[in-house]
Amino acid sequence: MQQFDFYGRHLLLNFSGCEADLNDLERIRQDMMDAVNHIGATILSHMEHQFDPMGVSVVLMLSESHASVHTYPEHKACFLDVFTCGHTIDVKPFGELLEERWQPRWASTQMYERLDPTSLKLPAIPALRS
């Protein structure tokens, strides 16, 4: 059985003051697909929902993991994320392309490296339990 690195990059983005119409499902879907293609990831499938009276959610299942957006047109804002497994894909251009297209006045990003916790040389922390 082929072994893969237990590693990934998770980019979280918050946009507000967007110039783009965040209630336009077709545009949001296409921009998300363009951003995923821009970073070289592979789209397997997608789900989307148009909320009433407004708002859009789009989730793209990727061969490498996922990308999603949830929009709040009444605030001209949205939350996005993209997660890819392995070391081969740089996720930063995903956010750069969407920032260019949606023109937020304010944007914040957080990048997380996800890895096997047993590879760290730290004391064990108990798993979260409900």
Amino acid at 55: G
Residue 58 bridge partners (DSSP): 48, 69
Query: Is 45 labeled as catalytic in the residue annotation?
Result: no
Amino acid at 115: L
Beta strands in 17-99 (DSSP E): 43-50, 56-62, 65-72, 77-85
One of 10, 46, 66, 70 is an active-site residue; which one? 70
One of 85, 87, 119, 130 is an active-site residue; which one? 85
Query: Is 38 labeled as catalytic in the residue annotation?
Result: no
Query: Is 78 labeled as catalytic in the residue annotation?
Result: no
Q: Do the beta carbons of residue 23 and residue 73 sit within 8 Å?
A: yes
72: nearest Cα among 87, 86, 59, 56: 56
Q: Do the beta carbons of residue 8 and residue 86 sit within 8 Å?
A: yes
Catalytic site positions: 65, 70, 85
